[in-house]
Amino acid sequence: MQLQDILYSQGFGTRRVCAGLIQQGLVQVYKENDDLAPVVITNSAMELEATGLRYRVQGVDWEYFEKAYLMLHKPTGTECSQKPSTYPSIYTLLPAPLRQRPQKSAVQGVQAVGRLDQDTTGLLLLSDDGQFIHQMSSPKKHSPKVYEVTAKHRLDAQQVQRLLSGVVLDDDPKPVRAAACEIVDADAAALHLRLTLTEGKYHQVKRMLAAVGNRVEGLHRSRIGELSLPDDLQPGQWRWLRAEDLQKLRAKAI
């Protein structure tokens, strides 16, 4: 694969822009687990094996990924939209190459797998793999998602049981029933609870608590499937998903 095509596939601009970066000596390449120092390449048409390739573009190190799979610690006050209405877009938290990765569709770059409200924080997945996005988003997969909830009022045992048994979300045109599959850390004096859902209805956690006469004051998604948000990933930070991370996600996508 030509080096200019590798950079193009990774979102560094048009092929002409990528060729220019290379010809100006702004690109160095090296291999994974290679002890040799990065080598400057100025021939944009040089053929290279993309798998395992690492490269440095204008001083920033990257690794080649045929498809991008990311996790982001979504901060509060951000929207999961390319065209936000009020708050900054989560996509501004990502470097340009991830926002510019070419796709066959009109929308370029990685896309969020589902959405979190502007005031909800926590684990958000992004990818440019349409099949992966569909798999993780499909309600038929029943992938469990864990939310840390801060309620306005203390929940009693009856409210907790109603959430587990299922409550009717009657603010829909066609009222539907929604239930938590697990609630922990909740008792008669609880303002905080950990709630697990296998569905993904619009504003579901907020609507469920409203249905039992309560209100969500804080909401944080801590886990999807078996993949937990790392303690060292701060709000606004992102990282690549590795093979073991994807295995954890797919293990519970049933």
Catalytic residues: 117
Q: 30 with 37: CB under 8 angstroms?
A: yes
Whether the CB-CB separation of 111 and 103 falls below 8 Å is answered with no
The C-alpha torsion from 64 through 66 and 71 to 74, rounded to 10°, is 90
* Greatest pairwise CA separation for the chain in angstroms: 70
The amino acid at 102: P
Cα–Cα distances (Å) from 70 to 129, 208, 210, 239, in that order, read 11, 29, 32, 6
Which stretch of DSSP H or E encloses residue 158?
helix 157-165
In order of 114, 133, 135, 196, 198, the CA distances from 139 in angstroms are 11, 12, 9, 14, 8
3-state secondary structure of 8: helix
Report residue 133: phi and psi, to 5°: -60, -45
